[in-house]
Amino acid sequence: MPTTTSLIEQEQQEQFVSQHEEAKLLLGEAYTISAVVDAPSEMTAVEFLKQIKLHYAKIESARVFLTKPLNEHLHKINVEFKKTTQPLEQAEALVKKGMIAYRNSPEFLDAERNRLEIEREARQAIREGDSPRLTELADEHAAASAAAPKKVETATGEARFRKTLKWELVDLEVLPAGYWTPDEKKIAAAVKAGMAIPGVKTWTEAVPIIV
């Protein structure tokens, strides 16, 4: 025997199907109505767009009716989980910041350069077939890797490090023009005020607003 929930879901599905079929019918009509060639056909287009707007409103009303309680409940859950995870996020960021600072310290960078130089010499020794030198470098590399490891391995996990370039704007006056970002809001306000801006093309479009 169908439950109340299943009956409601079936009714909702039937509404979705019905609204989708209505929307497809309107799309079919739009191909003809879009051929606006005179005042009467434009009036027909306006009436059609009003139908579209009403159909949008009906679908949106149904969507909100179904999703609002779910979204409110989901929001409450997410708020509680955010409270739970926020200290973890702060702890993670704090420790990572310390690790980054350590790996950017002069001491670590010197040790890293030493390891990289040993690795370069080892590659050269391999190319030259210099086994004694390679054996000698192996001990040096072990010590250098302990001081500046590529990755950190522990009993419970490991950390790998990706070199990421960062940037900070320190002098706007010397920044090349190619790196300036146009302020779209400022341009729009100036155009609306009737100002002519070099490098900006303006034009007018009659956009229909259905009420």
Q: What b/e readout covers 66-94, taking b as 16+ CB neighbours within 10 angstroms?
A: eeeeeeeeeeeeeeeeeeeeeeeeeeeee
Q: How far apart are CA 211 and CA 57, in angstroms?
A: 12
pLDDT of res. 5: 60
12 pLDDT above the threshold of 70: yes
- pTM of model > 0.95: no
- Summarised one tens digit per residue, pLDDT across range 112-161 is 999 999 999 999 999 999 999 999 999 999 999 999 999 999 999 899 99
In the chain, the N- to C-terminal Cα span, in Å, equals 47
For residues 35 and 45, the answer to whether their CB atoms sit within 8 Å is: no
